[in-house]
């Protein structure tokens, strides 16, 4: 494994850009801004290499960007409704930054921090200390995100954390996938299968109602592989409210015991590239990049990214879990160890 390090200046200080290149010449480019993915360069069925995740031309644009491009949101990825939750009899208030809700840890979330980094033989570990009271969250949290790149083009992300007081915690990766290459246009022709027979129902503000709704018989059904954009314009409330897919799917195989299982598969008939997603998390936010037009920084090679040019597959805890006792618990307590895994397997078929 060849690993190179570049240091670049940003408005928040020097950031590390770390490139891991395997024996086949495929590479992953990581950044200490938000412990994020900047590039994943892999071949198509004809051997032509392209970057299959969206990213920005200017490094400074990764700070405070609306899409949270490729980064690690936190403390709580996704929404906490109205920025409020109660824990052990105490009420907490968080900054509201997405309509009436708290999203991705708020405006100063993990995605907008410079993480410390440590380079191994085939991996990079990013570490962040989030102090007690950070954005309203209780307890100090020490979070670690380790990326490991293999010779068979598999990227494994290992999430670990500890806390000094009970606190909600939910980390994920927010990569935007286009398996034809970033800047190539719409990804709505990709084919997707999700191993989930239910999704988290939401209201018109995308706030979870607390109910898991069956996908069968609805446009939300990806239990059998289908073209991502086939039903996206259907007059179905969830799709209308989100302007496309922006909902958390509840994986059938989740057992709460840390078991790694296949959650989703994305395929491009054009390039032949396939992405298999495995995880230990209970859910996955499927987001079809519904809000890129007009407000997204310039793409890595000059592209003006538009809505629906990517698919985000964000494995995570359910949104707003602290306010729904029936959901898998997202509370980390002192003495416990937060540990979840996301695996991205890339190949061609």
Number of compact structural domains in the chain: 1
pLDDT tens digits, 230-261: 999 999 999 999 999 999 999 999 999 999 99
Tell whether pTM > 0.85: yes
Q: What pLDDT sits at residue 314? A: 98
Confidence at residue 36, expressed as pLDDT on a 0 to 100 scale? 98
- pLDDT tens digits for 13-42? 999 999 999 999 999 999 999 999 999 999
Active site residues: 174, 314
Residue among 322, 319, 320 at smallest CA distance from 332: 322
Which domain CATH number covers 231? 2.70.98.10
For residues 217 and 269, what is the distance between their CA atoms, to the nearest angstrom?
25
What is the per-residue pLDDT across 281-301, written as a single tens digit (0 to 9) for each?
A: 999 999 999 999 998 999 999
Q: How far apart are CA 212 and CA 199, in angstroms?
A: 5
pLDDT at 147 over 90: yes
Tell me which residue range forms the domain holding 152.
2-348
Contacts 24+ apart (CB under 8 A), 80-85: 80/168, 80/319, 80/320, 80/322, 80/323, 81/207, 81/208, 81/320, 81/323, 82/207, 83/136, 84/323, 85/168, 85/322, 85/323
Dump pLDDT digits (tens) for 117-131: 999 999 999 999 999
Residues 71-87 have pLDDT tens digits of 999 999 999 999 999 99
Report the chain's mean pLDDT, rounded to a whole number: 98
* Burial class of residue 84 (count of CB atoms within 10 Å of its CB; 0-12, 13-18, 19+): middle
Which pLDDT score, from 0 to 100, does residue 295 have?
87
Q: Which residues pair with 147 in a beta bridge?
A: 124, 157
């Amino acid at each position: 494994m060849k690993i190179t390090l570049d240091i670049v200046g940003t408005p928040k200080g020097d950031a590390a850009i770390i490139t891991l290149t395997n024996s086949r010449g495929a590479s992953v480019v990581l950044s200490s801004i938000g412990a994020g993915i900047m590039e994943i360069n892999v071949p198509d069925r004809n051997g032509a290499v392209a970057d299959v995740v969206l990213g920005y031309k200017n490094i400074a644009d990764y700070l405070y960007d609306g899409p949270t491009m490729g980064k690690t949101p936190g403390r709580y990825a996704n929404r906490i409704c109205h920025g409020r939750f109660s824990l052990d009899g105490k009420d907490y208030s968080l900054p509201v930054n997405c309509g009436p809700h708290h999203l991705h840890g708020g405006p100063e979330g993990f995605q907008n921090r410079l993480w410390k980094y440590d380079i191994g033989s085939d991996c990079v570990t990013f570490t962040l200390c989030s102090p007690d009271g950070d954005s309203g969250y209780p307890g100090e949290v020490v979070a670690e995100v380790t990326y490991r790149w293999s010779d068979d083009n598999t990227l494994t992300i290992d999430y670990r954390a500890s806390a000094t007081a009970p606190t909600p915690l939910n980390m994920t990766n927010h990569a935007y996938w286009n398996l034809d290459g970033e800047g190539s246009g719409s990804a709505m022709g990709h084919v997707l299968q999700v191993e989930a027979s239910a999704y988290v129902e939401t209201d018109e503000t995308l706030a979870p109602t607390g109910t898991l709704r069956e996908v069968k018989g609805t446009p939300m059904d990806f239990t059998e592989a289908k073209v991502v954009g086939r039903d996206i314009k259907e007059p179905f409330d969830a799709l209308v409210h989100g302007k496309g897919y922006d909902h958390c799917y509840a994986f059938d195989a989740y057992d709460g015991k840390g078991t790694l299982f296949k959650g989703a598969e994305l395929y491009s008939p054009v390039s032949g590239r396939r992405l298999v997603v495995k995880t230990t998390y209970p859910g996955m936010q499927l987001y079809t990049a519904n809000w890129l037009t007009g407000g997204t920084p310039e793409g890595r090679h000059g592209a003006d990214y538009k809505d629906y040019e990517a698919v985000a597959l964000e494995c995570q805890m359910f949104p707003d879990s602290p306010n729904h006792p029936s959901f898998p618990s997202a509370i980390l307590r002192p003495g416990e160890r937060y540990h979840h895994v996301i695996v991205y397997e890339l190949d061609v078929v």
